Amino acid sequence: MNFFLLLGTLHSFVRWIIVLVAIVAAIKFALGWLSKSRVQKVDRALMSAFSGLVDLQVLLGLIILLGQGLLIAGVGFPLNRIEHMITMIVAAIVAHVPMRWRKSDAPTALRSNLLVIIAVLVLIVLGVASLGGNRWL
Q: In this predicted model, what pLDDT tens digit does every residue of 64-115 receive, in sequence order?
A: 888 876 666 556 677 888 899 999 999 999 999 988 877 788 888 999 999 9
How much is the pTM? Answer: 0.89
Query: What mean pLDDT do residues 28-40 have?
Result: 93
For residue 1, what pLDDT band results from cuts at 50, 70 and 90?
Answer: low
Any idea what the Cα angle at residue 25 is, between residues 23 and 26, rounded to 5°? 65
DSSP assignment letter at 100: G
Burial 61-79 (b: 16+ CB within 10 A, else e): beebbeebeeeeeeeeeee
Residue 18 in contact with residue 54, Cβ under 8 Å? Answer: yes
